[in-house]
């Protein structure tokens, strides 16, 4: 991948079009289990964001030459090495009271699939700067989903936002359960796909989100190539049976001339000029 | 009247109007029974449920720029089925929420009632069972004249006490004179609905019958009450919305697999889930969860069955 990618390109791809939670369905476990309120969702987001940036930058800076089979466990070990002391510090040295689900799912954030996927697919193949951009974009995308889901679940399930009561007539206990989160994520994914298909239609192929394809370069037909083809045709008695790009099969000299004419090249004129 | 085959309905050669018209005819009977048992209250519950189902479908058709068909009776069937599985005294927001949830999560996203892999009414009822458990399983409304007062058969089975039935009790139970869902309590009526289905869509009966058979077998082998085998089977089949679900939810054409053998397996799996959840779960009524689970397993069972003949062919070669 070239280093000419701007932050905007990386951000749009990482945070919106290929959102790690809504499109790649990575890191679903912590979202479903722990993002039941704004507070827990914000904490998860902060941890995921910081950890993703740190591991991606380290991977891009130091792990490019390490074999792949070693790299994969290294991402997870680095993540745990970064997260566990922070968790220990919060538990023992601060007054922040983490809930049981947070104690379980914050360490799980360290080894979630978002980190492994983005380190392996992007960070180790690009510069540190681009790896940082990508990690930040993916972190922002994931955090936005965490927080939005947390707010919705807290509002619908407990009639509060950030612990403050909100007057709504009915609360849905089911929204605090995992299936409530999956329903919200399903609708959010549908909304995102609808947005992407309108704003970035080049990423949608037959209704499915795909990586943007680079336009195949057209075969360049130069004077030399035409001459070479002519020489080949003269020297060999066998008809040419090569497939050219575009699926047209070329056989005899007449067919070659016809094909070149269809491309706007007149071989007779070229010969006269010579 | 000519009976519909499932291939016809799958291929949409038969209009949904006829399919859901049949369901409406079937739903009319328990509705009338509910009216006679609980007065005008069921009318309010069913009206709210149907209205919310129709309005939410209409709203989503506007948002998604789809054509809303007034002739689409599926919304009415969804609303009515949900309402009839609820108690008569349920607060009106419960059927409203159930209908809206059924339409917006189980019907609209999949392209309509003829394509949905999940039974929308089951989804709606399951959602309100989780969110409003106390209201959904409160059968105290107008229950003074009932056989067990405000206690339902499901609650009795959950306690696991010794039970002995006599002829009067048996008649009370099969005629729906027990506290429970307002339209699903009468076993005789549900049997009549299954007979109606036999004349209209014979193949749709495969899943319900295998479901009932597995439930009966489970009740015979692992009874929840200290009673005879017959009593255990009779009470399990008569409690909650089990027979109602067999007649109205498991016969749903869109959510059912194509092959006959797969339908039978699907019904059996549903029965197994239902009875297991009744035995170990905390909910009095689990049939809707079981139906949804069976819907989820349906493609897996279908593909597994499709692979079987090819293996045989391979072995012959």
Interface check B93 vs A, CB under 8 A: yes
Shared-domain flag, residues A126 and A260: no
Whether the Cβ atoms of residue A64 and residue A124 lie closer than 8 Å to each other: yes
Shared-domain flag, residues A158 and A101: yes
pLDDT of residue A243: 44
Does the pLDDT of residue B235 top 80, yes or no?
Answer: yes
What's the longest Cα–Cα distance across chain B? Answer: 69
- Average pLDDT over chain B, rounded to an integer: 87
Interface check B97 vs A, CB under 8 A: yes
Nearest to A52 by CA among A89, A14, A25: A14
A183 and B130 within 8 Å at the Cβ level: the answer is: no
- The per-residue pLDDT for range B12-61, each reduced to its tens digit, is 555 778 888 889 999 999 999 899 888 899 999 999 999 999 999 999 99
Tell me if A216 is assigned to some domain.
no
Mean pLDDT of B84-112: 93
Tell me if B23 is assigned to some domain.
yes
Give the separation between CA B143 and CA B134, rounded to whole angstroms: 16
| Cβ burial A108-138 (10 Å sphere, 16+ → b, else e) | ebbbbebbbbbbbebbbebeeebbbbbbbbb
Among A93-107, A221-235, B118-132, B191-205, the range scoring the smallest mean pLDDT is A221-235
pLDDT of residue A238: 47
pTM summary value: 0.80
Chain B residue nearest residue A179, CA to CA: B127
Distance from CA of B131 to the nearest CA of A (A): 5
Chain A residue nearest residue B129, CA to CA: A174
Among A66-80, A172-186, B139-153, B295-309, the range scoring the smallest mean pLDDT is B139-153
Q: What is the ipTM of this complex?
A: 0.83
Mean pLDDT of B99-114: 90
A174 and B97 within 8 Å at the Cβ level: the answer is: no
The pLDDT confidence band at residue B115, using thresholds 50, 70 and 90, is confident
pLDDT of residue A89: 82
Interface check A182 vs B, CB under 8 A: no
The pLDDT confidence band at residue A162, using thresholds 50, 70 and 90, is confident
- The per-residue pLDDT for range A226-264, each reduced to its tens digit, is 565 555 555 544 444 444 444 444 456 666 666 666 656
- The per-residue pLDDT for range B248-303, each reduced to its tens digit, is 999 887 778 878 899 999 999 999 999 999 999 888 889 999 999 999 998 888 88
pLDDT of residue A228: 58
Shared-domain flag, residues A137 and A22: yes
Interface check B261 vs A, CB under 8 A: no
Task: List the CATH number of the domain containing B284.
Answer: 1.10.3430
A219 conformational bin, left if phi > 0, alpha if psi -120 to 50, beta if neither: beta
Candidate from A169, A174, A190 with C-beta closest to B131:
A174
Whether the Cβ atoms of residue B3 and residue B201 lie closer than 8 Å to each other: yes
Of residues B255 and B8, the one with the higher pLDDT is B255
Mean pLDDT of B235-240: 90
| Cβ burial A194-231 (10 Å sphere, 16+ → b, else e) | eebeeeeeebeeeeebeeeeeeeeeeeeeeeebeebee
Task: Give the range of the structural domain holding residue B117, as residue numbers without chain letter.
Answer: 6-306
Mean pLDDT of B149-174: 81
A190 and B109 within 8 Å at the Cβ level: the answer is: yes
Q: Please give the distance of CA B164 from its chain centroid, rounded to a whole number.
A: 28
Tell me if A214 is assigned to some domain.
no
Mean pLDDT of A136-160: 93
Interface check B109 vs A, CB under 8 A: yes
Tell me if B111 is assigned to some domain.
yes
Shared-domain flag, residues A137 and A260: no
Interface check A191 vs B, CB under 8 A: no
- Domains in chain A, number: 2
pLDDT of residue B13: 53
Tokens 């170990």 belong to B280
Chain A residue nearest residue B127, CA to CA: A174
B130 and A173 within 8 Å at the Cβ level: the answer is: yes
pLDDT of residue B185: 83
Interface check A172 vs B, CB under 8 A: yes
Give the separation between CA B56 and CA B160, rounded to whole angstroms: 41
Candidate from B93, B105, B109 with C-beta closest to A170:
B93
Give the separation between CA B273 and CA B298, rounded to whole angstroms: 13
What is the CB-side half-sphere exposure of residue B100 using CA atoms within 13 A?
11
Give the separation between CA B188 and CA A72, rounded to whole angstroms: 63
Whether the Cβ atoms of residue A256 and residue A240 lie closer than 8 Å to each other: yes
Shared-domain flag, residues A227 and A204: no
Shared-domain flag, residues A173 and A42: yes
Interface check A219 vs B, CB under 8 A: no
Q: How many CB atoms lie within 10 A of CB B314?
A: 8
Give the separation between CA B223 and CA B200, rounded to whole angstroms: 34
**In degrees rounded to 5, what are phi and psi of residue A209?**
-75, 125
- The per-residue pLDDT for range A35-63, each reduced to its tens digit, is 888 988 998 888 889 989 999 999 999 98
Shared-domain flag, residues A195 and A117: yes
- Domains in chain B, number: 1
Interface check B105 vs A, CB under 8 A: yes
Distance from CA of A172 to the nearest CA of B (A): 5
Whether the Cβ atoms of residue B279 and residue B222 lie closer than 8 Å to each other: yes
Of the residues A153, A156, A159, A174, the best mutation for testing chain B's interface (the one with the most B CB atoms within 10 Å of its CB) is A174
Q: Where are the alpha helices (DSSP H) in chain B?
A: 6-10, 16-38, 41-63, 74-85, 93-101, 120-131, 133-136, 153-159, 167-174, 187-200, 206-221, 229-238, 242-244, 260-280, 287-316
B130 and A174 within 8 Å at the Cβ level: the answer is: yes
Task: Give the range of the structural domain holding residue A248, as residue numbers without chain letter.
Answer: 223-273
Whether the Cβ atoms of residue B284 and residue B137 lie closer than 8 Å to each other: yes
Tell me if A99 is assigned to some domain.
yes
Domain C-terminal end among A164, A180, A209 = A209
Task: Quote the tokens at residue A125.
Answer: 């193949």
B93 and A186 within 8 Å at the Cβ level: the answer is: no
Residues of chain B neighbouring A172 (CB-CB closer than 8 A): 97, 127, 131
The number of residues in chain A equals 274
pLDDT of residue A270: 45
Residues of chain A neighbouring B109 (CB-CB closer than 8 A): 186, 190
Shared-domain flag, residues A201 and A231: no
């Amino acid at each position: 991948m070239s280093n000419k990618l701007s932050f905007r390109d990386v951000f749009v791809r990482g945070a919106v079009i290929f959102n790690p939670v809504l499109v790649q369905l990575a890191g679903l476990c912590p979202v479903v289990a722990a993002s039941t309120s704004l507070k827990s969702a914000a904490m998860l987001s902060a941890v995921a964001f910081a950890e993703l940036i740190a591991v991606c930058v380290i991977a891009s800076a130091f792990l490019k030459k390490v074999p792949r089979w070693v790299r994969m466990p290294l991402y997870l070990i680095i993540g745990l090495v970064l997260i566990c002391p922070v968790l220990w510090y919060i538990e023992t040295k601060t007054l922040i009271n983490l809930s049981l689900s947070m104690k379980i799912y914050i360490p799980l954030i360290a080894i979630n699939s978002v980190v492994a996927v983005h380190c392996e697919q992007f960070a180790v193949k690009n510069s540190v700067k681009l790896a940082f951009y990508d990690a930040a974009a993916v972190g922002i995308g994931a955090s936005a989903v965490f927080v939005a889901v947390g707010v919705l679940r807290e509002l619908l399930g407990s009639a509060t936002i950030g612990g403050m009561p909100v007057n709504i007539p009915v609360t849905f206990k089911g929204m605090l359960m995992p299936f409530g989160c999956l329903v919200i994520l399903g609708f959010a994914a549908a909304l995102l796909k609808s947005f992407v298909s309108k704003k970035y239609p080049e990423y949608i192929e037959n209704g499915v989100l795909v990586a943007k394809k680079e336009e195949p370069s057209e075969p360049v037909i130069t004077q030399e190539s035409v001459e070479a083809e002519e020489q080949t045709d003269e020297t060999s008695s066998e008809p040419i049976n090569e497939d050219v790009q575009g699926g047209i099969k070329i056989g005899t000299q007449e067919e070659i001339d016809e094909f070149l004419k269809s491309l706007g090249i007149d071989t007779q004129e070229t010969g006269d000029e010579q | 009247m000519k009976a519909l085959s499932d291939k016809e309905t799958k291929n949409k050669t038969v209009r949904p109007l006829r399919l859901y018209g049949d369901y409406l005819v079937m739903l009319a009977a328990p509705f009338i029974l509910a009216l006679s048992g609980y007065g005008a209250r069921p009318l309010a519950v069913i009206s709210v449920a149907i209205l919310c189902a129709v309005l939410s479908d209409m709203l989503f058709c506007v948002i998604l720029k789809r054509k809303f068909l007034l002739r689409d009776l599926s919304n009415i069937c969804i609303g009515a089925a949900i309402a009839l599985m609820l108690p008569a005294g349920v607060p009106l927001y419960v059927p409203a929420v159930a209908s809206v949830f059924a339409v917006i999560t189980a019907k609209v996203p999949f392209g309509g009632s003829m394509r949905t892999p999940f039974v929308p009414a089951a989804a709606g009822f399951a959602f309100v069972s989780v969110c409003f458990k106390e209201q959904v399983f409160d059968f105290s409304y107008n229950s003074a004249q009932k056989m067990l007062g405000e206690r339902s058969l499901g609650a009795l089975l959950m306690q696991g006490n010794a039970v002995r039935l006599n002829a009067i009790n048996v008649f009370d139970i099969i005629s729906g004179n027990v506290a429970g869902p307002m339209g699903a309590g009468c076993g005789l009526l549900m049997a009549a609905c299954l007979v109606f289905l036999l004349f209209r869509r014979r193949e749709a009966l495969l899943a319900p019958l295998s479901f009932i058979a597995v439930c009966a077998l489970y009740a015979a082998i692992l009874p929840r009450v200290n009673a005879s085998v017959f009593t255990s089977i009779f009470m399990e089949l008569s409690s909650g919305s089990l027979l109602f679900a067999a007649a109205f939810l498991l016969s749903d054409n869109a959510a059912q697999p194509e092959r006959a053998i797969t339908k039978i397996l699907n019904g059996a799996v549903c029965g197994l889930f239902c009875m297991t959840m009744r035995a170990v779960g905390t909910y009095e009524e689990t049939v809707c969860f079981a139906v949804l689970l069976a819907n989820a397993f349906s493609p897996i069972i279908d593909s597994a069955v499709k692979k079987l003949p090819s293996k045989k062919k391979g072995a012959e070669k």
